[in-house]
Amino acid sequence: MPGDAATLTVDRAGDGTVLRAVGDWDIGAAARLEAELDSVPATGGEQVTLDLSGLTAIDTAGAWLLHRARERLVAAGASVSIVDPPPDLAGLMAAVDEAAPQPPPAPSGPGEGPVIRFVGGVGRATVDFGRESLALLNFLGMLVIRLGGAIAHPRRLRATSIVHHMEATGLAAMPIVGLLSFLIGVVLAYQGADQLRQFGAEIYVVNLLGISVLRELGALITAIIVAGRSGSAFTAQIGTMKVNQEVDAMRTLGLDPVDILTLPRVIALMVTLPLLVFYADIVALFGGAVMSWAALGITFPQFMGQLQSAVDLSQFWIGMVKAPVFAFTIAMVGCYQGLKVGGSAESVGRLTTTAVVQSIFLVIVLDAIFSIIFATMGV
């Protein structure tokens, strides 16, 4: 049985206007209704009432027409109110409002100078930073709880996924970590030798190299490399799964994406990053030893003897203690940003960049906190 014909009536009520929608507002009548709604004059300061009590049915096209009409009237300065909507219209209108493109920001008025715009930008950035920090802190708490539960019940861990990510984040990263670590050792030895040669203290380049690499640079540089390599990969992988609706499919099947996607990556990186840091320390010291021999004539036995007298195990363990904390932070940020991805490829790229920046920032902040703690402890 055909539905009621869709109509729009415009009535004056005192100082305002009443728009009455009647019948079936569906896609079949959309073209005609759009022309009628566009012909309604919009006056600034006017009260416009959308009376939807006469609607017998409405689909997305009808809801979209109401949304457009309301936005046009509001933009013209009118005050718009909706009365007597059907029970099922609220959810449909909310979905249309969410899907509608956001209007561009209004241009600054003549009274807003560069100082006001700058202060406003700083305020918005501060609020956004606070919200992002709170959301990341909430994710941290949830991840710690899930990780504790997985450790208490090891059968919940996905061993195959953990081993796969250990290979991807550890074994596959060895070439780039080794190359950069070797070059860092060479640069440190060369720069240190150039300065210490002025005082006839070339042998102390070994002290400089050993302490800086084992205590600070080995863990820090490796964490930065892994943040740019593996942290971004975590965000891109999980984000692509969200775009393809694979994460929604997991939830439909009763699977928790945090347990399936996040925990294996966190555990794998917490295992592999300390091993990569140890590997980077050895390669950086080897690079420094090669440069010391080439530039200063310090033989390898002399280098090892001076290194043993200058560096004890505490310097090595200070660097190694940082590695699991850095790994947890990098994996957490990468997975958090991946789960935030929306439904577009642009969102994947933007949040992948954000994940790398946040990871490196947090790694450097944590390294500074470690330095303060160790200095306070006298280590």
pLDDT tens digits along 230-258:
999 999 999 998 888 888 888 888 888 88
Tens of pLDDT, residue by residue over 313-367, are 888 899 899 999 999 999 999 999 998 888 778 888 889 999 999 999 999 999 9
Same domain, 170 and 284: yes
Same domain, 138 and 21: no
How far apart CA 132 and CA 276 sit, in angstroms, is 30
Coil vs helix vs strand at 346: helix
161 contacts 264 by C-beta, under 8 angstroms: yes
Report if residue 132 sits inside a domain.
Answer: yes
Report if residue 271 sits inside a domain.
Answer: yes
Same domain, 346 and 224: yes
Name the token pair of 146. Answer: 């899930």
Same domain, 185 and 266: yes
Strands (E), the chain: 7-13, 16-25, 47-58, 79-83
Same domain, 116 and 66: no
Name the token pair of 184. Answer: 């860092």
Same domain, 94 and 137: no
Same domain, 81 and 170: no
Q: Beta partners for 266? A: none
How deeply is 282 buried, as exposed, middle or buried, from its count of CB atoms within 10 A (0-12, 13-18, 19+)?
middle
Report if residue 1 sits inside a domain.
Answer: no
315 contacts 214 by C-beta, under 8 angstroms: yes
Strands 16-25 and 79-83: unpaired
pTM: 0.69
Same domain, 119 and 137: yes
Per-residue pLDDT of the chain (379 residues; tens, 9 = 90+): 455 678 888 887 767 788 888 888 888 888 888 888 888 777 766 788 888 888 888 888 888 888 888 888 888 777 888 887 777 676 777 777 777 666 655 555 555 678 888 888 899 889 988 988 899 899 999 899 988 888 888 887 888 989 999 999 999 999 999 999 999 999 988 888 878 777 777 788 888 888 899 988 999 999 999 999 999 999 999 999 888 888 888 888 888 888 889 999 999 999 999 999 999 999 999 999 998 888 888 888 888 888 888 888 888 899 899 999 999 999 999 999 998 888 778 888 889 999 999 999 999 999 999 999 988 887 7
Name the token pair of 277. Answer: 């840091």
How far apart CA 235 and CA 271 sit, in angstroms, is 19
Number of compact structural domains in the chain: 3
Same domain, 140 and 242: no
How far apart CA 34 and CA 11 sit, in angstroms, is 18
186 contacts 295 by C-beta, under 8 angstroms: no
Q: How would DSSP label each residue in 190-204? A: HHHHHHHGGGT-GGG
How far apart CA 358 and CA 376 sit, in angstroms, is 27
Report if residue 2 sits inside a domain.
Answer: no
Terminal-residue alpha carbon distance, the chain? 85
What pLDDT is attached to residue 362? 94
Same domain, 295 and 180: yes
Same domain, 171 and 283: yes
> What domain range is 65 assigned to?
7-99
Q: How would DSSP label each residue in 73-119? A: HHHTT-EEEEES--TTHHHHHHHHHHHSPPPPPPPPPTT--HHHHHH
